[in-house]
A and B are shown apart, each in its own frame.
Chain A
Amino acid sequence: MKRILKNKFLILLALSGVLMSSCSEDNTETIFDQTPTERVNAKVSELRELLLSQPNGYKAVYFTKNDERGGFTTFMQFNADGTVRQTSDFDDDSALANSSYEVRLGTTIELVFTTRNHITKGTDPTAVTEVINGFPTGLGFFGTSVFQYFSNDNGTITFRDNRNSETALMVLTPTNFSDFDTDSLEAVNALRGQIENISVPSGVLTPTNHVLEIKNDNGVERYQFSYNGTRRFSNAIGFSEVEIVELSFGIAYTEEGITISPALEVGGESYIDFLYDEATNSFISEVNGTSATILYDSAPAFINPNDIAELEELGPTGFLFRRSLGANPLTSGNHDALLNQVTVGVQAIIGAEWSVGGYQLITDFESDDCATVLVLELSNINGGGANVSYCFDRAVIADGNLFLNYQGPDGFEFLEPAVLPLINFLADPNGLEFTRQGSFTSDTRNFSNLSGTFRNLSEPSIRVYGLFFG
C-alpha cells in the first residue's frame, strides 16, 4: 500500500511540474496590438463612421448574381439614428423612403439593411417570376440584405454577399451631391433613361439587329446580342466556322451609359464601362485603342453560311409574311412602310376598301415556268379577298445570297405599278440575304414552323420576317 502511495505522490509531483513548465513556456509573441473583441469593435466603428462620413450619401451599384442577373443602383444616405434614406433605379417606384440599418459582427463585419427599402428589391422574389409546374413561382434577383464589409479604397467601399460569394458585389462611392433628395431623384431619372436606349427601338424606320461588335488588331468580331430587361442580363453569341462563342454578363445603368459584370474579356482587353452615344444609339467601351460596341444594325451580327443552303433544300416552299400573324422586331419598319406604300397604290387603283394583308414568296430552283412566284394577299374591308401573282425566273443562289429575276404578272396587270416596290425589293440585283431563325414567334403567335428573314442588300434597312408553311 505504501508503495502505491509513493507512486501516486511521484505522479502528482511530476504532473505539477508539467503544469508549471507548461505555463512558463507560453509563446507570448504579440501578433495583434488589440484583443479580437477590440479589433472587431474597431472595424464596426470604422465602417459605421465611414457610412456617416458622407452627409449626402453614397451611390451603391449592386450586382446580385452576375451569372444570371444584372445590377441596379441605389442612392443611400446613412443617418446616425440608425435610419437610411434611399431611392433606386430598380423599377418605376423611385420614391425616397427611410428604413433601418445596422453595422454588426456576423460572418464578418456586416452592413445589414434590417427593414425593407429599395435595396431589398434585390431579394424580392416577385421581381422575376417563372412558371414552374404551372404555378408562377418567384425567383427574383437572388440578392441579400446582409453585406460583408470587404474593403475601403479611399472612400470607395466594397461589400460582398457570402451566399453568392463569387458572383455578387456591391460598391459604394460618395455621391458628392449638394442635396441628396433632389440630386438622387434626378440621377435615378438619368439612369432609367438608359433603359430606353438599350431596348429595341420603337421607331418604324430603325434597324433591328442588336449586335455586340469588337474591334481590335485582329479585325472585327460580331456577336448577336440579346438583352433581357427584366433580369438585366445579356447574352452575346458569336459564330465562326469552328465554334460558337457565348458571352454572358449582367448590366447596370449609369448616368453616362452602362456598366457590366463580369467584365467582357476579349482579345486580351477587359471592357466594363460603356458610354452611350446618342448619335448612333450605341454603347461604346474603348480600351487601349480597341473598342466594344453594343449597337443596332441593319445587318445581322453574322450570317451562317448553312442558312442559304437550307433555303435551297426547302425547294418550292412558301415563305409567308402576314400582318395578322403578329409582329416581330426582325421585320423592319422600312419593310412595313414599303407594304403600306403598296397598299396605298392598290387602293388608288381598285378602291379604298382594299388593303394588302401579306404575301407569299415561293422559290423554285429548277423551273422558269412561273414556279417562283410572289402571291400578294389582298383583303376587302367588306369581306373576302383576292390573291394576285407575279412571276420570276427560277431562283438562283450565288455568293451566299438569293437572286430573283422578275418576269411579269400572272394576270391583274393593272395592279403591277402599285406592286412594283415589293417586286423590286425581292428582285434586288444585289441579291437577298437570307437568315434562318428557328421556329416562328411573334408578339401574338408561336408556331413550330421554320422561320427566316430576307433582307434587301441594296436597301439593307428593308427586312422581312416570316414562316415557311411547306
Chain B
Amino acid sequence: MKKIYQKLSGIRVLLVVTVLMVTACENEPALEASQIDTSTPILNDLDNWLRGTFVSPFNIEIKYKWNINNTDVERFLHPPFERNVRPLAEILESVWIKPYNQLGGEDFIKTIAPREFIFTGGFNFNPGGNTITLGIAEQGARITLFNIDLLDFSSILYEEDIANDFDVQFAVTGPISTIHHEYGHILNQIKPYDPIFDIVNPNDYTSSWADRTNEEARELGYISAYASSQPSEDFVEMIAYMLIRSSAKWDALVDGIASAEARQSIRRKEQLIVEYYQENFNINFYELRELTYQALLEI
C-alpha cells in the first residue's frame, strides 16, 4: 500500500512538472502554415508521360533531369538530351516490364523493381583508362544507365557478331542487356539463387576478368568475360545474354564453343536459371525469353 502511495506521489510530481514544462514556453507563436514550397514543379509533356506510364502504375521514377548527387560527384558526367529519354523509357516498358508482368502477374514489376532509374547522357570513363561503367544497380533501389545519347535505337548488335565488342554499347542491345543484368541482381536480392550455381565451374573466376576476351571466357565455361568475375555476376550475365537472344541465336552461341566441358557448364547454369525462375516466381524462363526477344525486334 505504501508502495502504491509512493507511486501515486511520484506521478503527481511528474504531472506538476509536465504542466510547468508545457506552460513555460507559452509565449511562442502558434504554428502557421509550412513555409516550404510544396507546389507541383513545372512538368513538361515528357514529365507527364513518365508519371502516367511509370510512376502511377509501377511506382518507378525515371529521373533524367540532372541532379549531381545521383551520380558520382567526382566524375564529369552530363544529363541526356530530352529527346532520347522517351525512346529508352518505351524500351524499358516493352522489353522489361510487359514481358515480366505478362508471365509473373500484373503486379510483378510493381512489387519487385528498382524504384528509380537515372538516365545520363555520356560515357562514364573510369580513371584507370581501360574500362567504362555502363550501368550501376544500387541496393536494388536504383539503376543508373549511362551513354543514352550515343544510342542508335534502330541498331541491334551482338558482341559475337562484330569485331569490336564495345560497339554493342551504341546499339539498343547494350542498355537492354544492362537492364536485364541489373534486374537479375534485384531478383536475387529478393530470392537468392541455388548455391549449387556457384560450384558449377568455380575454378576460373578472377578479378582480372577485363584481361579476358568474351571468347576466352566462353571456352572456360562463362558466357562473357564479366561473367567470369564472380558467380553472382555470372548468374545475371547468363540471364542478360539469354533474354536478348532468340532461342536459335543462344544455341548457336553456346554450340560454337569448342570446349565440350565449357558447353556443359553453361548448359548446366542455364538449367539452374530456368529452375530458379520457375520455382521462385512461377515464370517459364523460355517463354519470358520469347517475349523479351520479340519485344526487342519490335523496337
Contact = CB atoms under 8 A, between A and B. Distances in A.
Interface of A: 1, 5, 8-9, 12, 15-16, 19-20, 23-24, 35, 37-38, 41, 81-83, 99-100, 102, 106, 112-116, 120, 123-126, 131-135, 137-146, 163
Contact of B78 (A9, A19, A82, A116): A116
A115 B86 CA distance: 13
Given A37-B35, A125-B125, A133-B130, A5 B81 contact: no
Given A19-B24, A23-B25, A113-B79, 8 more contacts: A16-B21, A19-B20, A106-B68, A112-B66, A116-B121, A132-B128, A140-B76, A145-B66
Contacts of A133: 128-130
B77 interface: yes
A141 B122 CA distance: 14
Given A113-B66, A116-B149, A140-B76, A82 B129 contact: no
Given A5-B6, A145-B66, A116 B129 contact: no
A23 B121 CA distance: 54
B125 A116 contact: no
Contact of A114 (B24, B25, B79, B123): B79
B21 A138 contact: no
B9 interface: yes
Contacts of A134: 129-130
User: Which 3 residue pairs spanning A and B have beta carbons closest together?
Assistant: A132-B129, A114-B65, A133-B129
Contacts of B14: 12
21 contacts: A5-B9, A8-B13, A16-B21, A19-B21, A20-B20, A23-B24, A41-B37, A99-B82, A100-B65, A100-B82, A115-B66, A115-B81, A115-B82, A116-B82, A124-B122, A131-B129, A133-B130, A134-B130, A141-B76, A145-B66, A146-B66
Contact of B66 (A1, A114, A143): A114
Interface residues of B, number: 39
B298 to A, nearest CB: 28
B199 interface: no
Nearest to B125: A138
B225 to A, nearest CB: 15
Interface in B148-172: 149
Contacts, number: 113
B124 to A, nearest CB: 8
Contacts of B76: 123, 125, 139-144
Contacts of B44: 81-83, 100
A131 B9 CA distance: 81
B42 interface: yes
Interface in B34-64: 35-37, 41-42, 44, 64
A1 B44 CA distance: 73
A139 B149 CA distance: 17
Contacts of B37: 41
A380 B222 CA distance: 62
A5 B149 CA distance: 75
Given A19-B20, A19-B24, A35-B35, A146 B81 contact: no
B144 to A, nearest CB: 16
Contacts of A113: 66, 79
A112 B63 CA distance: 14
B42 to A, nearest CB: 4
A135 B13 CA distance: 76
Contacts of A38: 35
A209 B171 CA distance: 47
Given A38-B35, A125-B125, A116 B81 contact: yes
A120 B42 contact: no
Given A19-B20, A82-B44, A100-B65, A1 B6 contact: yes
Most buried by B among A114, A116, A146: A116
A115 B80 contact: yes
Contacts of A5: 6, 9-10
Given A37-B36, A38-B35, A125-B125, A146 B78 contact: no
A115 B125 contact: no
A15 B79 contact: no
A163 B128 contact: no
A133 B126 CA distance: 12
Contacts of B258: none
B16 interface: yes
Given A37-B35, A41-B37, A116-B78, A137 B129 contact: yes
B10 A116 contact: no
Interface in B1-37: 2, 6, 9-10, 13-14, 16-17, 20-21, 24-25, 35-37
A82 B42 contact: yes
Interface in B93-122: 121-122
B190 interface: no
A163 B13 CA distance: 57
B73 interface: yes
Contacts of A145: 66, 68, 78-79
Nearest to A144: B68
